[in-house]
Amino acid sequence: MIGLGRTGNRTLPGLVAAMALLGLTVTEQLSAQSGGSGFLFSSPRAAFTLKGGLHMPRAASGNGTQSLWDLTREELTVENRDLTGGSIIAELAVRASERFDVTFAFGYSLTEPHSEMRDWVGTDDLPIEQVTSFSTKPLTIGVKAYLRERGRSIGSLAWIPRTWNPYVGVAGGVVSYRFEQYGEFVDYETYDIFRDNFLSEGRAPTVHLIGGMDFSVSRHFLLVGEARYGLASAPLDSDFVGFPDLDLAGFQVTGGITLRF
Q: What is the pLDDT of residues 158-190, one digit of tens each?
A: 778 889 999 999 999 999 999 999 999 999 999
Average pLDDT for residues 92-103, to the nearest whole number? Answer: 96
DSSP 3-state of 4: coil
- The closest alpha carbon to 33, from 41, 21, 45, belongs to 41
Residues in the chain: 261
- The closest alpha carbon to 40, from 164, 154, 167, belongs to 154
R_g of the chain, CA atoms, integer Å: 23
Domains of the chain: 11-260 (2.40.160.20)
pLDDT band of residue 156 (cuts 50, 70, 90) is: low
Question: What is this structure's pTM?
Answer: 0.83
- Produce one character per residue of 149-182: b if its CB has 16 or more CB atoms within 10 Å, e if not: ebbeeeeeebbbbeeebebebebebebbbbbbbb
What digits encode the pLDDT tens for the residues 16-40?
444 444 444 444 444 444 434 455 5
Q: How far apart are CA 216 and CA 54, in angstroms?
A: 23
Left, alpha or beta for 45 (phi > 0: left; psi -120 to 50: alpha)? alpha
